[in-house]
Each structure stands twice: as C-alpha cells, then as structure tokens.
Amino acid sequence: GAVVSQHPSWVICKSGTSVKIECRSLDFQATTMFWYRQFPKQSLMLMATSNEGSKATYEQGVEKDKFLINHASLTLSTLTVTSAHPEDSSFYICSAREKNTEAFFGQGTRLTVV
C-alpha cells in the first residue's frame, strides 16, 4: 500500500515553545490530509482536514490558532503546535489520501510538553 511518513516519531519540548510535525506522502499525491489526536487510552479524534492549497477545516473545539496546519504541496502537510503546554501532550497522527482513494496513515508523533 501507499506510504505516509510522519516526522518526528517523538518529540519533547519545553512549555511555551512551538513544535512542527511533518506528514509526507511518499509515493502518491495527497490531495487531502487529515490530522488526528489521541489521548491516552482513547480513540483517535479528528482535528482538521486540509486540502492542498486551501485553508484547513477544523473540527469543533479545535483551536486553529494553536494548531496551525499547512498543506502547501501535494506531498507535504505540517502541523505546528504553537505555544505548547503540558495539556497538549498527546499522540498526533496524520492521514493522507489521493482524490477518492483510501486513506493511509502515518506512524504518529508522540509529543511531550514539559
């Protein structure tokens, strides 16, 4: 199947700093990318959907100014957690799809804010 690469796989940052997570589709053009968040022992909750070249659509309750999403090319989307706080510590996973094909998931990024 198609490959979606997420980087970094884990990151520790200080409170107040910003962290950028990358999501790349390696062998297909990702017209749409999705970002999910998973709290411990819970399921994955969709944060936002981004289409290449457009602004991301955020789910209800997700702060767009805090979680900046950029999908500037057909193979790369980034999620930047701005002014991170300990409550932002979580597991973040991206997903990508090419037009009306199935979606593929990255391995995830574990963010710990200290």
Partner 1 sequence: SQQGEEDPQALSIQEGENATMNCSYKTSINNLQWYRQNSGRGLVHLILIRSNEREKHSGRLRVTLDTSKKSSSLLITASRAADTASYFCATDKGYQKVTFGIGTKLQVIP
Neighbours of 81 (CB within 10 A): 24
- Of these, 14, 61, 102, 114, which contacts partner 1 (CB under 8 A)? 102
Q: What is the DSSP letter of 54?
A: S
Binders of partner 1 among residues 70 to 89 (CB under 8 A) are none
Binder among 7, 17, 27, 46 for partner 1 (CB under 8 A): 46
User: Does residue 98 interact with partner 1 by CB under 8 A?
Assistant: no
Give CA–CA dist 62/68, Å, rounded: 10
- What does the block give as tokens for 39? 């709290």
Interface with partner 1 by CB under 8 A: which residues? 1, 6, 9, 34, 36, 42-46, 49, 91, 93, 95, 99-108, 110
